[in-house]
Structure 1
Amino acid sequence: MPASLATTFLNHTYENPFMNASGVHCKDTKELNELDNSKSSTFITKSSTSLKREGNPEPRYFSVPLGSINSMGLPNEGFNYYLKYVIDRQQRMPKGNPAFFSVAGMSVDENLKMLKAVQDSDFNGVTELNLSCPNVPGKPQVAYDFDLLGEILQKVFEFFTKPLGVKLPPYFDFAHFDTAASILNRFPLVYVNCINSIGNGLYIDIEKESVVIKPKNGFGGLGGEYIKPTALANVRAFYTRLNPSIKIIGTGGIRTGGDAFEHLLCGATMLQVGTELYKEGVSVFDRIERELKEIMEKKGYTSIEQFRGKLRTL
């Protein structure tokens, strides 16, 4: 019996667990249409701010041997641009797979304003609140400020009743896993997305004796193979700590079917591809799906649920 990649998420069955990571191949309608017509089961929009942003000066993204480094600065077409796209798609494809809509305001108030607009709109997909973005100068990003994390979610769920997930940065300490999970478990979240890039890495061109991106004197978020072990650790840590009703989206270092298998084994339900999608284009989904099926069939699995979350320890 051939392996099936069918995945149930929020009472909807997707043909596979794959989608793009927010920020990659989703900045405009052309890229979103290409995703929608690819082998990915759904897509997430570029994290939007209230108004259009040009982002940081170029060069702000650089491919490196084991992944990427970037400091994009949230370039996007603005909240209304993406909301119109997903609502128009709903009307055009009423039976299509639900889309994901990402917001990443530059302040708590901006996030609340955008989420209220989503709540009042006709959008019936899934909303993602990016909590791994800047807070205020001199403070850590929102998800590293545990008091603020609880405060913003409390304010959100006073009015937001549609499906909502949150994008998290990587955590590196068991105490932080425990504290973050205890806060997240207080709210009716439908998922957490682990992880955003590992912040403030530095890559050096030894020939030029120089950094490779312009913003922040070369400091940027790491993605790709570099971050897979950290991503897997966060997926596993939250899978074993969160209420079963809160699903995990695994993001970070998914380059092959084997990488996807590892994320699923750790407990992820859906999977996002970022750096490799940037490097390879939307055909990456065909390849990774084929490789994942081959692994499953070699192991005798006919469905993802037969092994999802069943990581063995020694």
Structure 2
Amino acid sequence: MLTTNFGPYTYQNPFMNASGVHCMTIEEMDGLAHSSAGSFVTKSATIVAREGNPEPRYIDLALGSINSMGLPNRGIDYYLDYAIKKQAEMPQDAPFFFSVAAMSVEENITLLKKIQSSAFEGITELNLSCPNVPGKPQVAYDFELTAAILKDVFSFFTKPLGVKLPPYFDLAHFDQMADILNQFPLCYVNSVNSVGNALFIDPVSDTVVIKPKEGFGGLGGAYIKPTALANVRAFYTRLKPEIKIIGTGGIATGQDAYEHLLCGASLLQIGTQLQKEGPAVFDRLIHELSTIMAEKGYQSISDFQGKLKSITD
């Protein structure tokens, strides 16, 4: 009932983790691989291991979370070694995802060249919603740089590749980014990363709640669901059909998942709610989404995927 098609691949259900949540270690990734999730993605890897930002750097909020993690990870070799070994155990028609993120444009290229020359045959996710250089916006907010990076990447990278994008807030920006993405043989876009540079204040102490960046951090959870749905829908209606959508942002219930799929997503990443509940969240979401589909008389996700209705006279 919950089988979803994702390009040439087929997953038993659309749920997976968002990179950064429950995927730092081999033990955590194995926990996802053996959970009810349809797939999983590794922690975003950099060339060398990173400790990340000082604590506290993640805080649960009433309607979501705020974080400024600073890309803590064990380094690409740790995750690539695991991925190469793990892929032999996984269904070939439903590969898992390998995430990379970088602190510079040059590091992005180095990471992808390492994957290209490796034995990993799954799907790679390039996180473009990361810092570029001081004084400049994150990469995906620099349209010329995004186009230049993708042109460079696809001059050598031949394995399945998708990109993770930040949220956009202007229709013209949806148009501009879609025009760029449509020029390349991307497997998918993942929309959205957290809403950047939010601020939350502790009402008792009158202080910010996370230490890095004087309290500025990425906002996740229910706070960002409307923005995430808008981005999923905007790209679903603008990208060529072969570029699939992973919907991320504010998925805490089966209804949230249903709405992302209705907007056009094919897979769904769970971040804040996975952090709060652990992998058991997937069992609950599967049950809730199945119940909604049954109540509406749908036999498969394809029955309603992308069929969001507009208000007409």
Aligned-pair identity in percent equals 67
Instruction: Give the Cα separation in 2 of the matches to 1:285 and 1:175.
Output: 36
- The CA deviation at 1:12 is 2.0
Map of 1:255 onto structure 2: 252
Kept in 2: contact 1:90–1:96 (CA 8 A): no
1:101 to 98, 101, 104: 98
Q: 1:189 to 1:37 in 2, by over 3 A?
A: same
Letter in 1 for 2:301: I
- The CA deviation at 1:92 is 3.7
Matches within 5 A, 1:64-143: 64-93=61-90, 95=92, 97-143=94-140
Q: What TM-score results when the alignment is normalised by the length of structure 2?
A: 0.98
- The CA deviation at 1:93 is 4.0
Kept in 2: contact 1:232–1:263 (CA 8 A): yes
- The CA deviation at 1:146 is 0.5
Map of 1:147 onto structure 2: 144
Kindly provide the CA deviation profile for residues 154-180 of structure 1, in whole angstroms up to 9, marking residues without a partner as x. Answer: 000000010000000000000100000
Q: 1:148 to 1:95 in 2, by over 3 A?
A: closer
Letter in 1 for 2:165: L
Partner of 1:62, secondary structure, is strand
- The CA deviation at 1:95 is 4.6
Partner of 1:91, secondary structure, is coil
Gaps of 5+ in 2: none
Kept in 1: contact 2:9–2:93 (CA 8 A): no
Map of 2:158 onto structure 1: 161
Instruction: Give the Cα separation in 1 of the matches to 2:308 and 2:166.
Output: 22
Letter in 1 for 2:39: T
Instruction: Give the Cα separation in 2 of the matches to 1:156 and 1:237.
Output: 25
Instruction: Give the Cα separation in 2 of the matches to 1:234 and 1:90.
Output: 31
Asked if 1:231 corresponds to 2:206, the answer is no
1:205 to 183, 202, 205: 202
- The CA deviation at 1:8 is 1.4
Partner of 2:88, secondary structure, is helix
1:171 to 168, 172, 182: 168
- The CA deviation at 1:94 is 5.9
Q: What TM-score results when the alignment is normalised by the length of structure 1?
A: 0.98
Asked if 1:49 corresponds to 2:46, the answer is yes
Instruction: Give the Cα separation in 2 of the matches to 1:178 and 1:94.
Output: 36
Instruction: Give the Cα separation in 2 of the matches to 1:309 and 1:108.
Output: 34
Instruction: Give the Cα separation in 1 of the matches to 2:266 and 2:187.
Output: 11
Letter in 2 for 1:97: A
Kindly provide the CA deviation profile for residues 55-83 of structure 1, in whole angstroms up to 9, marking residues without a partner as x. Answer: 00000000000000000000000001111
Q: Which runs of 4+ in 1 moved over 2 A?
A: 91-97
Map of 1:293 onto structure 2: 290
Instruction: Give the Cα separation in 2 of the matches to 1:137 and 1:145.
Output: 13
Letter in 1 for 2:85: D
Instruction: Give the Cα separation in 2 of the matches to 1:156 and 1:14.
Output: 27
- The CA deviation at 1:9 is 1.4
Map of 1:217 onto structure 2: 214
Instruction: Give the Cα separation in 2 of the matches to 1:309 and 1:92.
Output: 32
Map of 1:192 onto structure 2: 189
Letter in 2 for 1:27: M
Stretch deviating more after TM superposition (7-16 or 288-297): 7-16
Kept in 2: contact 1:55–1:75 (CA 8 A): yes
- The CA deviation at 1:99 is 1.1
Map of 1:8 onto structure 2: 5
Letter in 2 for 1:288: L
Kept in 1: contact 2:10–2:93 (CA 8 A): no
Stretch deviating more after TM superposition (212-221 or 97-106): 97-106
